[in-house]
Homo-oligomer: A and B are copies of this chain.
Amino acid sequence: MPTLHFWFEFASTYSYLSVMRVEDMAQRAGVDVAWHPFWLGPIFKAQGWDSSPFNLYPVKGAYMWRDMERICAARGLPFKRPDPFPQNSVLAARTALLALRHPEGPAFCRAVYAAEFGEGQGIGDPAFLGRLLAKCGLPPALVEEANSEAGKQGLRDSVAEASRLGIFGAPSFVVEQELFWGDDRLEMALARAAA
């Protein structure tokens, strides 16, 4: 089965849109999904940005919130802005990398996004992530493992691989050598994978 490599960042609003639909759409297209949580912090820093571009460019940010609101309404997704935005996503990403070694990994990722952007909850608290792991049938101890040296290295490797692939934002999709950026490009990426 062809594979769609799905790169997402837990602080990213538009990643929420793709996380909630990628698996259903890929299944219909006969495509496997490889889930790759990563962290945009170092990639944005390399572009000279010390926060989300939606905070650095407020006019663009105002548009993004309205755009998200409209798209979520059209898709029947709940939407509530977390405060602060962006959330610190490092622990969630490290934890997800471990969770994704299990079949319940994608469900855990969806649960984090549903809490963050569907209910406006913070995602940085280890106890909160532990509860979501348990809810998904995964060991809550993965949160501690995520903060071990190996857990930290896992996220560093993921960021390095994303940079190598030319990824500069989230969500991104990679099919063989082709990079697609943005939830808007999910259909095109899947068509490419299925071809």
**Chain A interface (Cβ within 8 Å of chain B)?**
47, 57, 59-60, 62-63, 66-67, 70, 74, 166, 168-169, 178-182, 184-185, 188
Contact B188 A63 (CB under 8 A): no
Contact B184 A63 (CB under 8 A): no
**In the complex, residue of chain B having the shortest beta-carbon distance to the beta carbon of A60:** B168
Instruction: For the complex, give the distance between the alpha carbons of A179 and B61 in Å.
Output: 13
Contact B47 A181 (CB under 8 A): no
A183 to chain B, nearest CB (A): 9
Contact A168 B70 (CB under 8 A): no
Contact A179 B63 (CB under 8 A): yes
Sample 21 A-B pairs with CB under 8 A, ordered by A number.
A47-B57, A47-B59, A57-B168, A59-B166, A59-B168, A60-B168, A62-B166, A63-B166, A63-B168, A63-B179, A63-B181, A66-B178, A66-B179, A67-B180, A67-B181, A67-B185, A70-B178, A70-B188, A74-B188, A182-B184, A184-B184
